[in-house]
Structure 1
């Protein structure tokens, strides 16, 4: 597959209730209103002006003098000669002149300099994207995933949200996430967010067929990045795995587990929810085995309660023979206290 040039849609937006075109029209209207005020002032005080060319002050002369006075210091062909006219020019028209210039400068900054600056800044951010988490879809599941990631310590700037809804992206921007308004099923979109350099991908597109297509595209763009996807129909779970998803989550099935667990004891569902929540007393932690743990049983971990290991793609529980002696390269899943730091030793988060 020939690499494509990334689309430069990646952008951070400031929330604004006024569209750019309306803001521009309002500023132009305010500038002309101020010029109109100055014109009215000069017209009513035209007796204090003198035309050095013909000696007569007409309405076109006042219009000319107003524009010249607002935009420059004048050419001297029409000048205020009376004390009142000079005071009016000094204390009434000069502030108007300053406001008009500020409006023009502010508009130039917002529509030219600021846009150029933002485009350059986003290009730099895009080029340096690495180790980030890409969330596709900012609906109920996607927003909860982003909130949970932030509660677990992820910086909002390290989360990139892809969605085709401006309303959803406005909500994502309030969390501080980087957003892109695009179709996540396109290769160019995933290349624009540097998916190959991401830490993980979370797909919550809302529809199973759309989610599976996005997973398939993401796996082609980033063969080694872990992909998690929400699938609402159990029949589509095998398709999502075939498309390349590492983790397939069915919200209905998980809710069913909690409900079924609650019938076997009042504390089972509570503990399962405790493990899943960021504010619970315990949490699941995945890491690679440490060098000083090789040869020891999974139950001998000092960093937490070892419950599962993965070796050569196979899963083994703590009660199985494979868990009696850890090997280099094993991936471990342990239960650790929520307030227990996991960064004291080199770890590899999954």
Structure 2
């Protein structure tokens, strides 16, 4: 059966939702409160219908009798040959014996109940997420390139972790992604049903960063078929495979090995240039390349005369360098690629 046709509980091992951090004391406290609520509900029920009960003394049920009956009933103790007869003995049974019995049950079956409860909770969260996920980003491969892409989305684009879905076959990589609060899907992205489970058909962007170029091509073909309107950005190691990615439907292709080799070559003569490029590509501090719309006061002017360091102008979906004759004058609707100064988070919070 395809993954997309399976219910939420069958996808618990495939999709992993971020876990909510709850302290052990708080978790135990919630369980105790829940148990007390059930106990008091049982006491109330027995007390209201006390005329239908009869005890060994045949003198009617007091409130304490009802409390005692509810306690031994909910704790599955039942009735034996030794039963408390005096009010003091019954009070001790309620105050001392029952809490000890509950603690024993928690130790004995707590692990099993926790697993079953967590699995049911995960299944419910998965089903709710699948029904409402829209305009998210799917990242295929959580290696070095995939992690850098996610870090950029979180730091520079301000994306919410819950809006990023990581698809990978390596469980350790998925564990690292889950630790960041990301939603993870275990499986090969070359399979269309795995991408459907990740919601690729409703994603706004799909980042393809596997370790092999042939895998990138196949994933791109599958993703483009599922999401004809999504922006697909792929990474390859060799420049000779760029045209294959373009033909497969990628909107943007980044050549990782060639870019790294070019920087290494530049570093042999001008290493500080490499430092500047690294600064521009690091979104957290220093300088960064950003995009913004043109302000009305800037229309008609030259992009080279603006206070910002403008690198290019985006017009009608096409990118022009700042020295291109087509963008001598800024027009309404243009967008500017410029260098902006990044303010560290600790400084911005002051």
Q: Same fold, TM exceeding 0.5?
A: yes
Q: Secondary structure of 2:247's match?
A: helix
- Residue in 1 that maps onto 2:300: 295
Equivalences for residues 258-297 of structure 1 within 5 A? 258-297=263-302
Mark the CA change 1:98 to 1:340 in structure 2 (over 3 Å): closer, same or farther: closer
Corresponding residue for 2:253?
Answer: 248
Equivalent position of 2:320 in the other structure: 316
Aligned: 1:144 with 2:132: no
Asked if 1:124 is matched to 2:128, the reply is yes
Instruction: Note the residue ranges of structure 2 that are not aligned, 5 or more in a row.
Output: 21-71, 346-350
Q: Distance in 1 between matches of 2:247 and 2:291?
A: 24
The aligned counterpart of 2:55 is none
TM-score under structure 1 length normalisation: 0.68
Asked whether the 8 Å contact 1:7–1:189 carries over to 2, the reply is: no
1:79 to 54, 69, 82: 82
- 2:234 pairs with one of 213, 229, 232: 229
Aligned position for 2:48: none
TM-score (norm: length of structure 2): 0.68
Paired position in structure 1 for 2:179: 174
Instruction: Output the aligned Cα RMSD.
Output: 3.6
SS at match of 1:78: coil
Deviation at 1:261, TM superposition (A): 2.5
Give 1:170 shift: 0.9
Mean CA deviation greater in 306-315 or 223-232: 306-315
CA–CA separation in structure 2 for the residues paired with 1:128 and 1:142: 25
Residue 79 of structure 1 aligns to a residue whose secondary structure is coil
Q: Which 10-residue stretch deviates more, 197-206 or 134-143? A: 197-206
Q: String of CA shifts for 1:292-322, please: whole Å, max 9, x gaps.
A: 54433222445x3221123345432111111
SS in structure 2 opposite 1:135? strand
Runs of 4+ in 1 over 4 A off after TM superposition: 4-8, 68-71, 89-96
Cα displacement string for residues 197-240 of structure 1 (whole angstroms, at most 9, x for unaligned residues): 43322111111111111111111222222222120122211101
TM-fit CA distance, 1:96: 5.2
Contact 1:7 1:188 in 2 (8 A): no
**Cα offset, 1:340, TM superposition:** 10
Residue pairs, 1:1-350, within 5 angstroms: 8=8, 9=11, 10-12=15-17, 14=19, 72-75=76-79, 78-79=81-82, 94=98, 97-103=101-107, 106=110, 109-152=113-156, 153-302=158-307, 304-339=308-343
> Residues 222-261 of structure 1: CA distance to partner in whole angstroms, max 9, x if unpaired?
2222222120122211101111112212222111222233
Q: How many pairs are equivalent?
A: 283
